[in-house]
């Protein structure tokens, strides 16, 4: 049963497998692309390349 709302957080979501993690999660792999001079983000769960979306999500407070 939810008793209230939680904190809003910024994060990353893989559009391939649905993994959601905080932006500062060290397991997201940033690889440098020398052709376009921009980083490539690799999902640690499914290893899909550049299918990452920046999102805002809420952590719900649940009481039991």
The model's pLDDT over 21-49, given as tens digits with 9 standing for 90+, comes to 887 776 666 666 666 777 778 888 898 88
Alpha carbons 9 and 20: distance in angstroms, whole number: 11
State residue 32's pLDDT score.
63
State residue 63's pLDDT score.
66
Domain ranges of the chain: 2-62
3-state secondary structure of 2: strand
Please tell me the pTM assigned to this model: 0.64
Looking up tokens 């999500």 gives: 57
High-pLDDT (> 70) share of the chain, %: 69
Q: How many residues make up the chain in this entry?
A: 64
Alpha carbons 19 and 29: distance in angstroms, whole number: 14
State residue 1's pLDDT score.
44
Percentage helix, strand, coil for the chain under 3-state DSSP, each rounded to 5: 0, 50, 50
């Amino acid at each position: 049963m939810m008793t209230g709302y939680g904190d809003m957080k910024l994060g990353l979501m893989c559009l391939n497998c649905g993994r959601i993690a905080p932006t500062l999660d060290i397991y997201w792999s940033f690889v440098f692309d020398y052709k376009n001079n921009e980083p490539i983000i690799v999902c640690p769960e499914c290893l899909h390349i550049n299918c990452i979306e920046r999102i805002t999500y809420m952590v719900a407070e649940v009481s039991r």
